[in-house]
């Protein structure tokens, strides 16, 4: 976990064009193929592109003094919450 992290904004807009899902790269960079295999998740099961007219999660944060943004589809965000951060939804 990042020591100096501050979430500044989270919104749920609808995409006006196809865009990359930052969650795809985040998952691949922060898990091993063995972990994904153990969880039953294949690389091809993860969503790479947020399609036009699809609702997504837009995050803005400050991490170690640097502004960061992420666009995440809901399916990848659910995977990150459950498997990487260990947060279970009700």
Does any domain span residue 17? yes
Does any domain span residue 18? yes
The encoded tokens of residue 83 equal 């498997």
Number of domains present in the structure of the chain: 1
End-to-end CA distance of the chain: 23
Does any domain span residue 25? yes
Does any domain span residue 78? yes
pTM over 0.85: no
Does any domain span residue 90? no
Does any domain span residue 89? no
Rounded percentage of the chain residues whose pLDDT exceeds 70: 94
User: What integer pLDDT is reported at residue 13 of this predicted model?
Assistant: 97
Average pLDDT value over all residues in the chain: 90
85 falls in which pLDDT band (50, 70, 90)?
confident
CA distance 43 to 2: 25
CA distance 6 to 56: 20
Does any domain span residue 80? yes
Residue 64 sits in which domain range?
Answer: 5-84
């Amino acid at each position: 976990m990042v020591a100096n992290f501050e979430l500044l904004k989270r919104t749920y807009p609808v995409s006006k064009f196809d865009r990359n899902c930052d969650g795809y790269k985040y998952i691949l960079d922060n898990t091993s193929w063995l972990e994904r295999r153990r969880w039953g998740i294949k690389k091809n099961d993860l969503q790479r592109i947020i399609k036009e007219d699809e609702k997504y999660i837009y995050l803005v944060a400050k991490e170690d003094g640097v502004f960061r943004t992420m666009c995440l589809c809901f399916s990848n965000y659910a995977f990150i919450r459950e498997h990487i951060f260990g947060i279970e939804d009700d």
